[in-house]
Amino acid sequence: MSTSKDIGNLRAPVVAIMGHIDHGKSTLLDYIRKSNVTAGEAGGITQHVTAYEVVHTSSEGNVGKITFLDTPGHEAFQGIRARGAVVADIAILVVSAEDGVKPQTLEAYKHIKECNVPFIVAITKIDKAGASVDRAKQSLAENDIFVEGYGGNIPVVALSAKTGEGVNDLLDMIMLVSELESFNGHPERLGTGIIIESRLDPKKGITAVGIIKDGTVKKGLIAASVGATAPLRFILDSEGNQVDELSFSSPIQLVGWDNLPPVGAVFEIFEDKKAATLYADSEAIKSKHNPLDAKIDENISILPIIIKADTAGSLEALVYEIKKLSRERIVPKVVLQGIGTVSENDIKSAMTTAGTYVFAFHTKIDSQAGALAERSGIAIESYDIIYKLTERIEELLESGEPKIEVEEVSGSAKVLRIFSITKDKHVLGARALTGVVTAGGNLRILRRDEEIGRAKIKGLQQNKVETDRVNEGNEFGAMIESKIEIAPGDTFEEITKVTK
């Protein structure tokens, strides 16, 4: 088998950092970039997908570029993390030396395996007092992730993003894996890539952040994605600098879209406006589906919600998380969603459906919208951390869930013998099977486990002494009022009505 490659077409690897919410992914990237991204994120949690390009000199003196994707660790960003593994050439599975494998670790591992990308395990936080690299490796092995030295061949690097120990070893390992995989690109082709974030910028309009997977993107060409096109009057690199062109593996900011391109969608570069529009329209037709349109049982109440967010990635994550909050008799429904400031039109939409809540995530409320909402009694609530917003929706669902009256069984008994029947009065002997049987209790009569009628206890005797209640396991006599003839072997259950 030939292994020859066109050296001129070798490209830098795109690397996704994946794992549990607080195992140090963003802190690791901060160290690599010599900056502090996490401090600017609400609650110290990465809320957006971003991409960074770094230059690394290996221990052998080789110089190369690496593009990192910072994929959010919060469970709400499941879909984004999954696509992070698709756009990536190499994945880094981060595991804390303090905590070992967590559910989100396994979820990230599942995505990595499904996407069939090579990956490296990074054991972080080795500077912590309670850290144990061996314990972390053992935790991985117990979950069938076998690293080098622990029964497998998955590369593993132990590091501290705080002190920097082991970080260069990780970068060296990334370059080694990239060299072995020989990722190729074709600079002469028109660029193609994947949208990893999109947002509405008040000054620049709709901007999408993408990773170029092949080819070259030049100023003056036209970008197209699902239902959207953008004439590239200028392009920006990952740091926001204007450039004339960018090639494969580079992060790119594409400015000036006519519609918001979906996160995770492919973008293509065209020389011709007509061809770009045709591609955008055809891709839009292919992707015509909306999970929010799923039918809801007419007997279930709806909590209508309008969401405005700063970016498409945040919006997708919010909708994903909200869909999981359904209760038995009430579900949240996102009736309107969008990117950018909460507008007057959003409030007008809320006014058409009673009980609608408007949530602003990392975005502002314009003054007209705020005034109209106040006059109309529409609630607008602002949040910058996803779990705070979802906790609020859980509260609204709990308080808004319709109350229903249900029957609960407080006791049951088996009929042993019938002493007499006069009209609808049955005098009988029985044994309490479960719970407590009480005088005045309402009953349902069962025969061969099927209900045959309803009845009422008019009086109870135990050891020929009248009583108000009989406990489980005791025999008793009873007068029962029933229009259905009761027979030995029947059982009856005492029922109480409870509002829930």
- Check residues 403 and 68 and name the one with the higher pLDDT: 68
In one-letter notation, the amino acid at residue 457 is I
Q: Which three-class secondary structure state does DSSP give residue 339?
A: strand
Q: What is the mean pLDDT of residues 242-263?
A: 90
Q: pTM value?
A: 0.62
> Is the pLDDT reported for residue 20 higher than 90?
no
Nearest to 79 by CA among 264, 310, 307: 264
Q: Is 128 exposed, middle or buried (0-12, 13-18, 19+ CB in 10 A)?
A: middle
> Which amino acid, one-letter code, is at 381?
E
Confidence grade of residue 23 (pLDDT, cut at 50, 70, 90): low
Give the domain ranges of the chain: 7-181, 192-284, 300-400, 405-499
pLDDT tens per residue across span 271-308: 999 999 999 998 888 766 444 444 455 668 889 999 99
Tell me how far apart the alpha carbons of residues 174 and 166 are, in angstroms, rounded to a whole number. Answer: 13
One fold for 7-181 and 405-499: no
Rounded distance, CA 491 to CA 500, Å?
A: 27
Look up residue 10 and give its DSSP letter.
Answer: B
Q: Which CATH class is domain 192-284?
A: mainly beta
Q: How far apart are CA 331 and CA 378, in angstroms?
A: 19
CB atoms within 10 A of CB 149: 10
Of residues 439, 433, 403, 429, the one with CA closest to residue 487: 429
Instruction: Please tell me the predicted confidence (pLDDT) of residue 3.
Output: 38
| CA-based R_g, the chain, Å | 32
pLDDT at 4: 38
Decide: residue 74, CB within 10 A, 0-12 exposed, 13-18 middle, 19+ buried.
buried
**Residue 406 is inside which H or E element, if any?**
strand 405-422
405-499: CATH architecture: Beta Barrel (2.40)
Closest CA to 64 of 176, 159, 156: 176
Tokens coding 15: 């690397």
Burial 165-182 (b: 16+ CB within 10 A, else e): ebbbebbbbbbebbeeee
Q: CA 249, CA 211: separation in Å to the nearest integer?
A: 6
Share of the chain above pLDDT 70, in %: 89
Q: Which of 237, 294, 287 is nearest to 266 (CA)?
A: 287
- Average pLDDT across the chain, whole number: 86
Of 36-45, 51-60, 146-155, 461-470, which range is least confident? 36-45
Could you give the count of Cα atoms lying within 13 Å of 82 in the half-sphere of its Cβ?
13
Q: What is the CATH number of domain 7-181?
A: 3.40.50.300
Distance CA 474, CA 434 (A): 10
Could you tell me the CATH superfamily of domain 300-400?
A: Translation initiation factor IF- 2, domain 3 (3.40.50.10050)
| % of the chain exceeding 90 in pLDDT | 48
| Amino acid 80: pLDDT | 60
In sequence order, what are the beta bridge partners of 223? 230, 269
